[in-house]
Amino acid sequence: MLALRLYGVKDARLEQVDEPVVSPGTVKRRIEWAGVCGSDLHFYAGGPSVPADQEHPLFHEQGPHIMGHEFSGIVTELGDGVTGLSIGDLVAVRPNVWDGTCEACLRGEPNLCDNRGNIGYDGGGGGFSEFVVAPQENVYKLPASFDAKLGALVESLTVAWRPVRKSGAKKGTTALVIGAGPIGLGLLLCLKAVGVEQIIVSEPGASRAALAKQLGADVINPMTTDVAKYAIEATSGKGVDVAFDASGFDENTLPSAFGAIRVAGTVVVVARFHGIVPMDPKDFLFGEKTITGSYSYTDQDFREVIEAIDSGRLDPMPLVSSTIGLDEVMTRGIEHLLGDGRATEVKILVSPSLHA
Ligand SMILES: [Zn+2]
């Protein structure tokens, strides 16, 4: 089958590899659609998460590994002992794996497992291919209201769902989202899905700002507007209840989120920062403000996103900006997003059955 494998820094190759084989407790799926994620760009530009000559402790496979971890598929084969799934079912895959035995797992935080890993960059195949075999516990049968494109969007929405859940946002909450990339726009959709009505989005890029506005946000440009000042004025001088940094762009974004929240408000870090951010700790004391992070997701987050989409409260389809074939995943996908595409694309979906 055709697959995109990451060999090293800026060395990803589309090539023929053996089809994966089912074993007891696993499910084989034909890939329908797979999303290109910021993490794919991160590992392509910086090199594989696990060096090619080492094995991830839960996958026991040496690289190069197949890329792509946001994908939907149709079940084509079931391993011995698999129950509750049938050939032909449309499924989504939760790509993260955990050991179930470390302290974090036993505390109920498997997303923070000592041995965590991901299908699609640490081993176990990936979405930029034609077939994947994964453990049944990672495979979610989708309700009849889903089509395969929607199924491929569940994973990236779940990355946004968890921080919204952790923030406690609900009807009546006021919110600020910094950055309207795929995760920031996902935060906007998830906030709306839990009933939040007043959502300010800070985004300098014109096309992403326009999409955030279309999706119901009050959009400001941080290059021309003081974000914290605006958020305080827009909430009658109080500050917003919750703020999310989905940008991580520079040392200004997080302090502006912190300056925008009310006393006892919460900032959730969702972005991958590339440097140190100076903070003034007196606000933690005198304002009893909280700063926390949200990393990956759990089974609960994944199930709640599927339920929210099924019920109609969450519709991520407006985030799809392009659909391309697997044979174009480098040129019109990863390399495009690392270049001009960043300004115009949000979510690019890739299918092995589309051809250039
Ligand atoms: Zn663990």
- Residue 100: give its domain's CATH number: 3.90.180.10
Both 82 and 180 in a single domain? Answer: no
Cα 29 to Cα 148, 157, 352: the distances in Å are 12, 21, 13
Q: Are residues 174 and 80 in the same domain?
A: no
Asked whether residue 7 falls in the same domain as residue 136, the answer is yes
Looking at the domain assignment, is residue 304 inside a domain? no
How many angstroms is it from 50 CA to the middle of ligand 1?
Answer: 18
15 with 99, same domain: the answer is yes
Is residue 152 assigned to a domain?
no
Domain that holds residue 216: 158-293
> Does 356 score more than 70 pLDDT?
no
Boundary of a domain, candidates 244, 259, 293 = 293
3-class SS of residue 195: coil
The position carrying tokens 């291919």 is 129
Hey, how many other C-beta atoms are within 10 angstroms of the C-beta on 203? 26
Question: In CATH, what number is assigned to the domain containing residue 184?
Answer: 3.40.50.720
Asked if the structure places residue 306 within a domain, the reply is: no
Question: Rounded to the nearest whole angstrom, what is the distance from the C-alpha of residue 111 to the centroid of ligand 1?
Answer: 8
**Residues 7, 58: one domain?**
yes
Tell me: do 269 and 328 sit in the same domain: no
Same domain, 131 and 169: no
Does residue 300 sit within a domain? no
175 contacts 236 by C-beta, under 8 angstroms: no
Strand partners of residue 77: 28
Close Cβ partners of 283 (under 8 Å, ≥ 6 residues apart): 258, 289
Judge contact between 276 and 251, C-beta under 8 A.
yes
60 and 112 in a single domain? The answer is: yes
pLDDT tens column, 203-226: 999 999 999 999 999 999 999 999
The number of folded domains in the chain is 2
Report the relative pairing of strands 290-293 and 261-269 from DSSP bridges. parallel
Does some domain include residue 109?
A: yes
What would the mean pLDDT of 91-120 be, rounded to a whole number? 96
Give pLDDT, residue 46.
92
Residues 231, 282 within the same domain: yes
Q: How far is the CA of 253 from the centre of ligand 1 (A)?
A: 32
| Position 356 in a domain | no
pTM of the model: 0.95
* 268-289: pLDDT as tens digits: 999 888 788 888 888 889 999 9
- Mark whether 10 and 136 lie in a shared domain: yes
Q: Above 70 in pLDDT, residue 93? A: yes
Same domain? For 167 and 288 the reply is yes
Residue 225, domain member (yes or no): yes
Residue 146 belongs to some domain of the structure:
no
Kindly state the average pLDDT of the residues 58-78: 95
Q: What is the distance in A from the centroid of ligand 1 to the CA of 230?
A: 42
- Output the CA 154–ligand 1 centroid distance in Å: 23
The predicted structure's pLDDT at residue 218: 98
* Sequence-separated contacts (24+) of 55-61 with Cβ below 8 Å: 55/123, 56/117, 56/122, 56/123, 57/99, 57/115, 57/117, 58/97, 58/98, 58/99, 58/115, 58/117, 58/122, 58/123, 59/97, 59/117, 59/122, 59/123, 59/124, 60/123, 61/123, 61/124
The reply to whether 91 and 132 lie within a common domain is yes
Model pLDDT for residues 246-257, shown as the tens digit of each residue: 997 778 888 899
Determine the distance separating the centroid of ligand 1 and the alpha carbon of 262, expressed in angstroms: 35
